Amino acid sequence: MRIICTKDYEEMSLRVADLIAAQILLKPDSVLGLATGSTVAGAYDSLVERCRSGEVDFSKISTVNLDEYIGLAPDHVQSYRHYMNSHLFDHVNIDKSKTNVPSGVAAEPAEECRRYEQLIRDMGGIDLQLLGLGKTCHIGFNEPGERFETITHVVTLNEQTRKDNSRFFASIDEVPKKAVTMGIQTIMSAKTIVLAVNGEGKADALAAALQGDVKPSAPGSILQMHQNVIVVADKAALSKLA
Ligand code: F6R
């Protein structure tokens, strides 16, 4: 595991964008696993700029996102499909038909999970998976207690996570209670994982992920078992590492 310590969020975002840009240069038809949320937004801004300047070419890239809220249609402003379109896909030269986010409104969510997992396999697996980290130490929406061997499945969101994500909604009551998420096994199958973390509020979760016991009560700790993880975190997030 390699740890890149940055002075702040801006520098973290640039380093994450560097890694994704390098992946695209080395393999222009990469399958990128993407995340949503505040942590990764700055990296997407930087990738948009690099695409506009001709430095990065998304034309052969395919993507699969980690997760989606159940009950939110793709055009809902808080859906993760909407997030991806507005932060990245609408602004780069990607073929949108090669971008994938699980459906939050499938009639049969369990069937949607099977379809999505098979899709990732059919694409040949994920070359680089970008992750953020929840305060609960979740990765994707795999909350504490989730079995490590899960593939894409339906989860009930932890109350802490709903509270954390309520900042994007009018009230906590509007935050969906369930989501479809890639499982821990799906995530761990990616060839390279880039974990981005910033801020003091994530320091305990990051210490648990990087230095704690590897156990389902700290889902991020499984990353210690991956052969190719790059952690890009600011000083504040790394402040509780021994
Ligand atoms: C998002 C996702 C989550 C977030 C995590 C951190 O697709 O799967 O695991 O990465 O909750 O979210 P932020 O960056 O908003 O703190």
Read off the pTM: 0.97
- Percent of the chain residues topping a pLDDT of 90: 98
pLDDT in tens, 43-87: 999 999 999 999 999 999 999 999 999 999 999 999 999 999 999
User: Under DSSP, is residue 19 helix (H, G, I), strand (E, B) or coil?
Assistant: helix
Who's near 175: CB < 8 A, 6+ residues apart?
157, 162, 165, 166, 169
For residue 70, report the distance from its CA to the centre of ligand 1, in Å. Answer: 16
Residue 167: enclosing H or E segment and its boundaries?
none
Q: Does the beta carbon of 132 sit less than 6 angstroms from any atom of ligand 1?
A: yes
For residue 33, report the distance from its CA to the centre of ligand 1, in Å. Answer: 13
Q: Does the beta carbon of 157 sit less than 6 angstroms from any atom of ligand 1?
A: no
For residue 17, report the distance from its CA to the centre of ligand 1, in Å. Answer: 17
The confidence score (pLDDT) of residue 85 equals: 98
Residue 15 confidence class, pLDDT cut points 50, 70, 90: very high
Mutate to test the pocket of ligand 1, among 34, 65, 66 (most ligand atoms within 8 A of CB): 66
Mean pLDDT across 83-95 = 98
Average pLDDT, the chain: 97
CA dist., res. 232 & res. 210, Å (int): 12
The confidence score (pLDDT) of residue 65 equals: 98
Q: CA of 184: how far to CAs of 90, 178, 181, in Å?
A: 29, 17, 9
Mutate to test the pocket of ligand 1, among 141, 153, 167, 187 (most ligand atoms within 8 A of CB): 141
Mean pLDDT across 14-18 = 98
User: Under DSSP, is residue 105 helix (H, G, I), strand (E, B) or coil?
Assistant: coil
Q: Does the beta carbon of 158 sit less than 6 angstroms from any atom of ligand 1?
A: no
Domains within the chain, CATH numbers bracketed? 2-197+211-234 (3.40.50.1360)
| 199 Rama sector, left if φ>0, alpha if ψ -120 to 50, beta otherwise | left
Who's near 85: CB < 8 A, 6+ residues apart?
96
The confidence score (pLDDT) of residue 242 equals: 87
Specify the amino acid at residue 67.
D
pLDDT in tens, 193-232: 999 999 999 999 999 999 999 999 999 999 999 999 999 9
Residue 169 confidence class, pLDDT cut points 50, 70, 90: very high
